[in-house]
Amino acid sequence: MRYLLLALPLLLGAVIPVEAQVSVGVSIGINVPVYPQLVRMPGYPVYYDPRASTNYFFYDGLYWVFRDDNWYSSGWYNGPWQAIHPEYVPLFVLRIPVRYYRNPPSYFRGWAADAPPRWGERWGGGWQRRRAGWDQWNRRAVPAAAPLPSYQRQYSGARYPRDVEQQRSIRSSDYRYQPREAVSRQQFQQQAPAPTPTSRTQQQQQQQQQQQRPQTRMAQPQQPRQAQRPQAEPQRQAPGQQPMQSPPQAPRMQPEQQHQPQAARPAAEPQRARPEPQNQGQGQGQERNRPGPQERDRENRN
């Protein structure tokens, strides 16, 4: 198919509604053979090409072209281009003054050169209500302009990358600007190749493996805990059973019973030993004091 219409809702930080539609890879009938000479508009964060034969601008990291009553954008100066619905054209692109359109449509005639086009008259009251206030802003609080992608200057003619993936790869390495507008961020992301069914399956398998790995790691330390539970239960019950069982108390009483007789024996032994020498001493004294046979005869004679 030459044209492919895709719904481009932003799933993360939904800024663009689901109804946003973009035509991808549209041929708009223009050719920009070399990097354009862009000039900043005074008071606007927008650049334009004064030498271009078409309405050619640069804003928020994208090139913008207004042709045949439609807006187109691209990340590279010579496409491929994407058609942007009027509902989602950035405000500062809508606010570009009429004087900077190098090839204005016929219905621009009679409009103020320093004012933006009257888009409400062209696109109807419904658009005007949904984009109410688009032509009113604080001119003293204009955001900074995005840096020009001058790295594209070296890509022209046969060196110009036509493959979207190649363009994205070069831009990601040479252009660090992060778009401010939702439609710009969406287009930057959309240029990345969508995953194939095979790669999606592989990603799902990898996610399942990553989910199973933590469970396996957690199951390994739980196995020894289950084996230790039977051993831990008797240990928890033992302190509660000590007052009811005599065997745990026996070791505590045995040392006390052993110390009591040992302490009594030394006290009893000296008591028994002490009278024995006294009796022996007294007996020996009595035997010494007894008179001999000669003394007895003398006593009898007297």
* 34 in any annotated domain: yes
Mean pLDDT of 220-226: 52
* 26: confidence class by pLDDT, cuts 50, 70, 90: confident
Q: Which of 20-24, 171-175, 295-299 has the lowest mean pLDDT?
A: 20-24
Least confident of 96-105, 171-180, 212-221: 212-221
Assigned domain for 301 exists: no
In a domain, residue 167? The reply is yes
Q: Is residue 31 domain-resident?
A: yes
Question: Residue 230: is its pLDDT beyond 60?
Answer: no
280 within a domain of the structure (yes/no):
no
Mean pLDDT of the chain: 75
The mean pLDDT value for 223-249 works out to 51
Domain presence at residue 138: yes
Residue 114, token pair as written in the block = 């320093």
Total tally of structural domains belonging to the chain:
1
Specify if 67 maps to a domain: yes
Is 47 a member of any domain?
yes
**Residue 5, pLDDT score:** 40
Domain that includes residue 137, residue range = 4-197
